[in-house]
Amino acid sequence: MSADNCVCDDDQYKPKCKGDQNLAGANHEFNDIKSFDEIDPAKAEETARKLFGHSTKYLLPEQAERGKTHQRSKSLKEVGEKPPPSPTRRKSVRFADALGLELTDVKVITNAERERPPEIPAQVLQSLRRSHEELTEATKHFIEKHRYLTPLFNQPGSAREFLGKVFTQAVCLETAVVSDMTILGTIRVRNLHFEKKVGVRWTYNDWKLCFDTPTEYVRGSSDGTTDKFSFTMTAPNNMEVGGKVELCVRFEIPGNTFWDNNQGHNYVFECFSQGYSTLSTSPEDSFWNFT
């Protein structure tokens, strides 16, 4: 039998080989060893070369015991263990004075700086111009929706000489109340004839066009010598701001016609709009209005 077929008994910690006479010397070398403490590693290595023809590294029992590695038989999930938490960054707070900085920032404003207006960046002015244009358009729309008329004369009926004026010229405008672009008025006439025709002639474009508005008799208004008539008229909603409505009163009886034109000046109403006169035309002015 060759050396490759030898069987070693590890329990005895010494080689025993069957049928090979070359191992006798090796057995003899270990016969006198009574404990593993007496084994010389260098001598054991030399004996291994004789037995197997090459170097064989081996450990003594106590060395093998120390070299064993232990493996976990169960995972963390099986035993219910929790993984360690991930590290978190610790927050730190540092104050300005700890870094050698000032806790306050004081700016001294001189009289020259107070008198000098602040410099407005170009991009701010550009944005302000756009906003101003949008505001202008919106205000124009607002103006179209909120125009109103205002009389440029005092109410004739409140004058002390009103009745005397009625008897003198036979007809006179008594009141004129305005609601937006609508005029509601009353006219007092002398009771000269049973058949009476009272009307209002008016214009809003300097008599390029004129309109005749009829009136209605006010029941119970007669005092025996005068009668009262009422009328309602509405100017165009798209009338220009600053435009004027002019009117005069006509009184007709069979064979005669009487007029009241406010002594040749007509009764004038001017068109206004809420907020129109306060609209700024400069973006820079608008900047100061918004600050």
| Residue 15: inside a domain | yes
| CATH code of the domain containing 166 | 2.60.40.2440
| Residue 14: inside a domain | yes
Longest dimension (CA), the chain: 174
pLDDT of residue 210: 95
| Residue 183: inside a domain | yes
Same domain, 156 and 253: yes
Mind listing the pLDDT tens digit for each residue in 70-87?
555 555 555 556 666 666
Percent of the residues in the chain that have a pLDDT greater than 90, as a whole number: 42
Percent of the residues in the chain that have a pLDDT greater than 70, as a whole number: 57
Same domain, 142 and 180: no
Same domain, 284 and 141: yes
Same domain, 156 and 263: yes
Same domain, 152 and 142: no
Same domain, 169 and 225: yes
| Residue 237: inside a domain | yes
pLDDT band at 7 (very low <50, low <70, confident <90, very high): very low
Mind listing the pLDDT tens digit for each residue in 35-67?
555 566 667 667 666 665 555 555 555 555 555
Which residue range forms the structural domain that includes residue 248?
A: 148-273
Residue 233 structure tokens? 């008229």
Residue 11 structure tokens? 């329990």
Q: Is the model's pTM score more than 0.85?
A: no
pLDDT band at 92 (very low <50, low <70, confident <90, very high): confident
Mind listing the pLDDT tens digit for each residue in 150-175?
999 999 999 999 999 999 999 999 99
Same domain, 207 and 262: yes
Please report, for residues 139, 226, 256, the alpha-carbon distance to residue 193 in angstroms, rounded to integers and kept in the order given.
Answer: 52, 11, 10
